Structure 1
Amino acid sequence: MATERLPGEAGSAAALLWRPRVREGDGGGEGLWGRGGSGDAELARTLFPAQAAALVAVGALWGGSGPFLRAAAAGMEQLRGRGRLGQLLAELRFLSRRRQYLLPFLLNQAGSLLFYLTLASTELSLAVPLCNSLALVVTLVTGKILGEDIGGKRAVAGMLLTLLGVSLCVAGV
Protein backbone atom coordinates (compact mmCIF):
# COMPACT_ATOMS: atom_id res chain seq x y z
CA MET A 1 0.00 0.00 0.00
CA ALA A 2 2.08 2.93 -1.31
CA THR A 3 1.12 6.43 -0.25
CA GLU A 4 1.49 9.31 -2.69
CA ARG A 5 2.95 12.54 -1.39
CA LEU A 6 1.12 15.82 -1.54
CA PRO A 7 2.68 18.79 -3.32
CA GLY A 8 4.69 20.21 -0.42
CA GLU A 9 5.07 18.53 2.92
CA ALA A 10 3.04 19.10 6.07
CA GLY A 11 3.55 22.52 7.58
CA SER A 12 4.52 24.23 4.34
CA ALA A 13 2.35 26.84 2.66
CA ALA A 14 1.84 24.55 -0.34
CA ALA A 15 0.55 21.75 1.88
CA LEU A 16 -1.95 24.12 3.51
CA LEU A 17 -3.27 25.33 0.18
CA TRP A 18 -3.21 22.16 -1.87
CA ARG A 19 -4.83 19.63 0.42
CA PRO A 20 -6.23 16.44 -1.10
CA ARG A 21 -9.74 16.64 -2.46
CA VAL A 22 -11.69 13.55 -1.49
CA ARG A 23 -14.89 12.51 -3.20
CA GLU A 24 -17.93 11.85 -1.09
CA GLY A 25 -18.15 8.15 -0.40
CA ASP A 26 -14.38 7.78 -0.06
CA GLY A 27 -14.75 7.86 3.72
CA GLY A 28 -13.09 4.51 4.29
CA GLY A 29 -10.25 2.65 2.75
CA GLU A 30 -7.37 4.41 1.14
CA GLY A 31 -9.13 7.59 0.07
CA LEU A 32 -8.07 9.61 -2.93
CA TRP A 33 -4.47 10.12 -1.76
CA GLY A 34 -4.06 6.87 0.17
CA ARG A 35 -4.61 8.58 3.50
CA GLY A 36 -7.96 7.04 4.46
CA GLY A 37 -10.04 7.92 7.48
CA SER A 38 -13.69 8.59 8.12
CA GLY A 39 -13.39 12.37 7.92
CA ASP A 40 -12.25 12.44 4.29
CA ALA A 41 -15.68 13.35 2.89
CA GLU A 42 -15.92 16.28 5.30
CA LEU A 43 -12.37 17.35 4.39
CA ALA A 44 -13.49 17.79 0.78
CA ARG A 45 -16.17 20.31 1.78
CA THR A 46 -13.90 22.33 4.09
CA LEU A 47 -12.52 25.62 2.79
CA PHE A 48 -9.14 26.13 4.41
CA PRO A 49 -7.91 29.69 5.09
CA ALA A 50 -5.13 29.44 2.50
CA GLN A 51 -7.61 28.21 -0.11
CA ALA A 52 -9.99 31.05 0.71
CA ALA A 53 -7.14 33.55 0.45
CA ALA A 54 -6.12 32.11 -2.92
CA LEU A 55 -9.69 32.33 -4.25
CA VAL A 56 -10.00 35.93 -3.04
CA ALA A 57 -6.66 36.71 -4.71
CA VAL A 58 -7.96 35.19 -7.96
CA GLY A 59 -11.09 37.35 -7.79
CA ALA A 60 -8.96 40.43 -7.09
CA LEU A 61 -6.55 39.69 -9.93
CA TRP A 62 -9.31 39.00 -12.43
CA GLY A 63 -11.55 41.85 -11.34
CA GLY A 64 -8.81 44.42 -10.81
CA SER A 65 -7.22 43.85 -14.20
CA GLY A 66 -10.41 44.09 -16.28
CA PRO A 67 -10.94 47.88 -16.17
CA PHE A 68 -7.24 48.48 -16.83
CA LEU A 69 -7.36 46.14 -19.84
CA ARG A 70 -10.40 48.01 -21.18
CA ALA A 71 -8.69 51.37 -20.72
CA ALA A 72 -5.46 50.20 -22.36
CA ALA A 73 -7.32 48.75 -25.36
CA ALA A 74 -9.01 52.08 -26.11
CA GLY A 75 -8.34 53.14 -29.67
CA MET A 76 -8.18 49.64 -31.04
CA GLU A 77 -11.50 50.15 -32.87
CA GLN A 78 -9.79 52.48 -35.37
CA LEU A 79 -7.28 49.84 -36.48
CA ARG A 80 -7.78 48.53 -40.01
CA GLY A 81 -6.05 45.52 -41.47
CA ARG A 82 -6.41 43.77 -44.80
CA GLY A 83 -8.70 40.84 -44.27
CA ARG A 84 -9.32 38.97 -41.08
CA LEU A 85 -5.74 37.85 -40.58
CA GLY A 86 -4.42 41.35 -41.21
CA GLN A 87 -6.91 42.76 -38.70
CA LEU A 88 -5.89 40.16 -36.11
CA LEU A 89 -2.20 40.91 -36.60
CA ALA A 90 -2.80 44.66 -36.38
CA GLU A 91 -4.68 44.23 -33.10
CA LEU A 92 -2.03 41.92 -31.66
CA ARG A 93 0.72 44.35 -32.64
CA PHE A 94 -1.22 47.24 -31.09
CA LEU A 95 -1.79 45.45 -27.77
CA SER A 96 1.62 43.79 -27.46
CA ARG A 97 3.42 47.14 -27.77
CA ARG A 98 1.51 48.80 -24.93
CA ARG A 99 2.91 48.41 -21.43
CA GLN A 100 -0.34 49.66 -19.94
CA TYR A 101 -2.02 46.61 -21.52
CA LEU A 102 0.66 43.98 -20.89
CA LEU A 103 0.96 44.44 -17.12
CA PRO A 104 -2.78 43.97 -16.39
CA PHE A 105 -2.84 41.11 -18.90
CA LEU A 106 -0.01 39.32 -17.08
CA LEU A 107 -1.71 39.90 -13.71
CA ASN A 108 -4.93 38.48 -15.13
CA GLN A 109 -3.07 35.40 -16.38
CA ALA A 110 -1.40 35.00 -12.96
CA GLY A 111 -4.90 34.91 -11.50
CA SER A 112 -5.84 32.19 -13.98
CA LEU A 113 -2.79 30.14 -13.02
CA LEU A 114 -3.58 30.52 -9.31
CA PHE A 115 -7.18 29.51 -10.02
CA TYR A 116 -6.02 26.40 -11.86
CA LEU A 117 -3.70 25.42 -9.01
CA THR A 118 -6.37 26.06 -6.39
CA LEU A 119 -8.92 23.91 -8.22
CA ALA A 120 -6.80 20.86 -7.40
CA SER A 121 -7.87 21.12 -3.77
CA THR A 122 -11.11 23.10 -3.72
CA GLU A 123 -14.64 22.09 -4.54
CA LEU A 124 -15.54 23.32 -8.01
CA SER A 125 -19.06 24.23 -6.87
CA LEU A 126 -17.52 26.64 -4.34
CA ALA A 127 -14.48 27.95 -6.23
CA VAL A 128 -16.18 29.06 -9.44
CA PRO A 129 -19.01 31.14 -7.93
CA LEU A 130 -16.68 32.61 -5.31
CA CYS A 131 -14.03 33.73 -7.81
CA ASN A 132 -16.44 34.99 -10.45
CA SER A 133 -18.64 36.93 -8.04
CA LEU A 134 -15.66 38.51 -6.29
CA ALA A 135 -14.19 39.38 -9.69
CA LEU A 136 -17.46 41.14 -10.54
CA VAL A 137 -17.41 43.15 -7.32
CA VAL A 138 -13.73 44.08 -7.73
CA THR A 139 -14.36 45.05 -11.37
CA LEU A 140 -17.15 47.41 -10.34
CA VAL A 141 -15.10 48.98 -7.56
CA THR A 142 -11.99 49.33 -9.73
CA GLY A 143 -14.04 50.76 -12.59
CA LYS A 144 -15.60 53.32 -10.23
CA ILE A 145 -12.15 54.32 -8.96
CA LEU A 146 -10.98 54.78 -12.57
CA GLY A 147 -14.00 56.98 -13.32
CA GLU A 148 -16.10 54.51 -15.30
CA ASP A 149 -19.88 54.62 -15.12
CA ILE A 150 -20.81 51.47 -13.22
CA GLY A 151 -24.60 51.80 -13.32
CA GLY A 152 -25.63 53.64 -10.17
CA LYS A 153 -27.83 52.25 -7.41
CA ARG A 154 -28.72 49.06 -9.26
CA ALA A 155 -25.05 48.12 -9.57
CA VAL A 156 -24.50 48.76 -5.87
CA ALA A 157 -27.55 46.64 -5.03
CA GLY A 158 -26.23 43.89 -7.28
CA MET A 159 -22.85 44.06 -5.57
CA LEU A 160 -24.46 43.72 -2.15
CA LEU A 161 -26.58 40.77 -3.29
CA THR A 162 -23.48 39.16 -4.78
CA LEU A 163 -21.61 39.53 -1.51
CA LEU A 164 -24.57 38.05 0.34
CA GLY A 165 -24.62 35.08 -2.03
CA VAL A 166 -20.87 34.52 -1.62
CA SER A 167 -21.24 34.66 2.16
CA LEU A 168 -24.02 32.08 2.05
CA CYS A 169 -21.99 29.87 -0.28
CA VAL A 170 -18.91 29.97 1.94
CA ALA A 171 -20.96 29.43 5.10
CA GLY A 172 -22.46 26.33 3.52
CA VAL A 173 -26.09 27.35 3.99
Structure 2
Amino acid sequence: MGSTFSPWLSLLAVGALWGGTNPFIKRGSKGVQKWQYILPFLLNQCGSVVYFLTLQQTDLSLAVPIANALTFLFTALVGHLLGEEKIDKETLCGITLVVVGISLCVYGKI
Protein backbone atom coordinates (compact mmCIF):
# COMPACT_ATOMS: atom_id res chain seq x y z
CA MET A 1 0.00 0.00 0.00
CA GLY A 2 1.22 3.46 -0.80
CA SER A 3 1.46 6.23 1.72
CA THR A 4 -1.58 7.86 0.09
CA PHE A 5 -3.91 5.23 1.54
CA SER A 6 -2.32 5.05 4.99
CA PRO A 7 -4.09 8.10 6.49
CA TRP A 8 -7.47 6.90 5.20
CA LEU A 9 -6.99 3.44 6.66
CA SER A 10 -5.79 5.03 9.88
CA LEU A 11 -8.93 7.14 10.11
CA LEU A 12 -11.01 4.05 9.48
CA ALA A 13 -9.13 2.31 12.30
CA VAL A 14 -9.71 5.30 14.59
CA GLY A 15 -13.45 5.24 13.88
CA ALA A 16 -13.57 1.50 14.45
CA LEU A 17 -11.58 1.66 17.68
CA TRP A 18 -13.53 4.59 19.10
CA GLY A 19 -16.97 3.60 17.89
CA GLY A 20 -16.51 -0.13 18.23
CA THR A 21 -15.48 0.17 21.86
CA ASN A 22 -18.13 2.69 22.99
CA PRO A 23 -20.87 0.08 23.48
CA PHE A 24 -18.43 -2.19 25.34
CA ILE A 25 -17.32 0.65 27.60
CA LYS A 26 -20.95 1.48 28.29
CA ARG A 27 -21.72 -2.17 29.05
CA GLY A 28 -18.55 -2.70 31.09
CA SER A 29 -19.05 0.40 33.21
CA LYS A 30 -22.34 -1.02 34.50
CA GLY A 31 -20.77 -4.20 35.82
CA VAL A 32 -18.84 -4.88 38.97
CA GLN A 33 -15.94 -6.58 37.16
CA LYS A 34 -13.43 -3.95 36.10
CA TRP A 35 -11.83 -5.99 33.32
CA GLN A 36 -15.00 -5.61 31.29
CA TYR A 37 -14.34 -1.89 31.23
CA ILE A 38 -10.54 -1.81 31.03
CA LEU A 39 -9.99 -3.73 27.79
CA PRO A 40 -12.43 -1.65 25.70
CA PHE A 41 -11.07 1.49 27.34
CA LEU A 42 -7.49 0.57 26.39
CA LEU A 43 -8.55 -0.18 22.82
CA ASN A 44 -10.37 3.14 22.73
CA GLN A 45 -7.19 4.89 23.87
CA CYS A 46 -5.26 3.09 21.13
CA GLY A 47 -7.67 4.78 18.74
CA SER A 48 -6.67 8.12 20.24
CA VAL A 49 -2.98 7.35 19.67
CA VAL A 50 -3.65 6.36 16.05
CA TYR A 51 -5.70 9.54 15.64
CA PHE A 52 -2.89 11.70 17.02
CA LEU A 53 -0.38 10.09 14.67
CA THR A 54 -2.75 10.39 11.72
CA LEU A 55 -3.28 14.11 12.31
CA GLN A 56 0.39 14.63 11.47
CA GLN A 57 -0.17 13.24 7.96
CA THR A 58 -3.73 14.27 7.15
CA ASP A 59 -5.58 17.46 6.35
CA LEU A 60 -7.26 18.50 9.59
CA SER A 61 -10.42 19.59 7.77
CA LEU A 62 -10.88 15.97 6.66
CA ALA A 63 -9.49 14.05 9.62
CA VAL A 64 -11.83 15.46 12.25
CA PRO A 65 -15.18 14.97 10.47
CA ILE A 66 -14.17 11.58 9.05
CA ALA A 67 -13.02 10.19 12.40
CA ASN A 68 -16.09 11.51 14.24
CA ALA A 69 -18.52 10.33 11.57
CA LEU A 70 -16.98 6.87 11.48
CA THR A 71 -17.14 6.74 15.28
CA PHE A 72 -20.90 7.34 15.10
CA LEU A 73 -21.25 4.69 12.41
CA PHE A 74 -19.28 2.03 14.31
CA THR A 75 -21.03 2.84 17.60
CA ALA A 76 -24.42 2.30 15.96
CA LEU A 77 -23.36 -0.94 14.25
CA VAL A 78 -21.61 -2.51 17.25
CA GLY A 79 -24.41 -1.41 19.58
CA HIS A 80 -26.85 -3.12 17.25
CA LEU A 81 -24.74 -6.29 17.16
CA LEU A 82 -24.67 -6.32 20.96
CA GLY A 83 -28.45 -6.05 21.06
CA GLU A 84 -28.55 -2.57 22.59
CA GLU A 85 -30.70 -1.01 19.90
CA LYS A 86 -32.18 -2.01 16.62
CA ILE A 87 -31.13 0.04 13.64
CA ASP A 88 -34.37 1.77 12.71
CA LYS A 89 -35.09 3.80 9.59
CA GLU A 90 -33.84 7.03 11.14
CA THR A 91 -30.53 5.49 12.20
CA LEU A 92 -30.08 3.83 8.82
CA CYS A 93 -30.80 7.15 7.14
CA GLY A 94 -28.22 8.82 9.40
CA ILE A 95 -25.61 6.16 8.61
CA THR A 96 -26.27 6.59 4.91
CA LEU A 97 -25.96 10.36 5.15
CA VAL A 98 -22.71 9.98 7.11
CA VAL A 99 -21.22 7.74 4.42
CA VAL A 100 -22.36 10.12 1.67
CA GLY A 101 -21.00 13.10 3.59
CA ILE A 102 -17.62 11.46 4.13
CA SER A 103 -17.48 10.52 0.46
CA LEU A 104 -18.23 14.11 -0.59
CA CYS A 105 -15.58 15.50 1.77
CA VAL A 106 -12.94 13.13 0.43
CA TYR A 107 -14.01 13.70 -3.18
CA GLY A 108 -13.84 17.46 -2.69
CA LYS A 109 -10.26 17.26 -1.47
CA ILE A 110 -8.98 14.94 -4.19
Relative to the length of structure 2, the TM-score reads 0.91
Gaps of 5+ in 1: 1-12, 17-47, 76-93
Measure the CA separation in 2 of the matches of 1:152 and 1:53. Answer: 28
> Within 5 A, what are the aligned runs for 1:137-152?
137-150=73-86, 152=88
Q: 1:48-71 deviations in whole A, cap 9, x for unaligned?
A: 201100010000000000000000
1:105 to 12, 20, 41: 41
The structure 1 segments of at least 4 consecutive aligned residues displaced by more than 2 Å after TM superposition are none
CA drift at 1:126: 0.2
CA displacement at 1:172 relative to structure 2:
1.3
Higher relative contact order (CA 8 A, sep 6+): 2
Aligned residue in 2 for 1:58: 14
Question: Is the Cα–Cα contact under 8 Å of residues 55 and 63 in structure 2 kept in the other structure?
Answer: yes
Shift of 1:151: 5.6
User: What residue in structure 2 maps to residue 89 of structure 1?
Assistant: none
Q: What's the RMSD between the two structures over aligned residues? A: 1.9
For 1:172 and 1:108, locate their aligned partners in 2 and report how far apart those are by CA, in whole Å.
29
Which whole-Å CA distance do the structure 2 matches of 1:120 and 1:68 have between them? 29
Work out which of the residue numbers 90, 95, 98 in structure 2 matches 1:159.
95
Identity of paired residues, percent? 45
Return the alpha-carbon distance in structure 2 between the equivalents of residues 159 and 73 of structure 1. 26
Q: Pick closer, same or farther for the CA change 1:158–1:121 going to 2, 3 Å.
A: same
Q: Structure 2: how far apart are the matches of 1:149 and 1:50?
A: 33
| Structure with bigger gyration radius | 1
- Structure 1 length normalisation: TM-score? 0.59
Does residue 169 of structure 1 match 2:105?
A: yes
Aligned residues: 109
Q: Which structure is higher in helix share?
A: 2
Kindly indicate whether the alpha-carbon contact (under 8 Å) linking 2:80 and 2:87 is maintained by their aligned counterparts in 1: no
